[in-house]
Amino acid sequence: MKARSGKGSLITNAVLLIIGGALIYGNTFDRELGAKISEWIATPVGSLVIGGVMVASVLLGLLTQVFGKKKKARFINFQSDDGSVGISTKAIQDFIERVGKEFAAVKSIQTELIEQKGSLDIAVSVKVLSGNKIPELSAVLQQRIRESVRESLGLEEIRTITIQVSEIVGEPAKHAEEVPKKNKSTET
């Protein structure tokens, strides 16, 4: 489960920051204030208040994580012969990433979808293994994504597919002409 950031965790962090900051300031810079804080914390009321504030702020953070608003899934809709069909953007991204991983030259792939006026723009960020011809790989990858999305998902209105090479990874492959030649003095 991913931790959500929200008002609860902001309040929790602020309360703990204030209490921690007061304790550090009182014991480091203003010893008189530190002594007063220590005396107050040592009383039953002081320790009850500090403990209660800390427990309440942590509980508030947990409650906002459990009952906070969940992110609503976005869908790309298109018309079929029998009505409307919606495919979640997450499902489309996963599908495109599986298509990209069919290529041996693609080390990793991430996809972003941009829906504009009934058409779809696809931005693909890839890490490519070194030694591959990026222009050819990009053209084939664009064509394969376009065909697969049209055929398998039924999304016809793909406007652009942008390939961004974010990294070239790995050592370049050794070519035949790079093999060290034998030294003539060692040949007999």
Higher pLDDT, 27 or 126: 126
Higher pLDDT, 69 or 92: 92
Mean pLDDT of 38-66: 82
Q: Do the Cβ atoms of 80 and 137 come closer than 8 Å?
A: no
Residue with tokens 């034998």: 182
Is the pTM of the predicted complex or chain greater than 0.85?
no
Higher pLDDT, 140 or 171: 140
Q: Which amino acid is at 91?
A: A
Phi and psi at residue 81, to the nearest 5°: -60, -30
Mean pLDDT of 56-64: 79
Give the mean pLDDT of the chain: 82
pLDDT band at 177 (very low <50, low <70, confident <90, very high): very low
Q: How distant, in Å, are the alpha carbons of 12, 43, 76, 150, 159 from that of 106?
A: 43, 64, 26, 22, 23
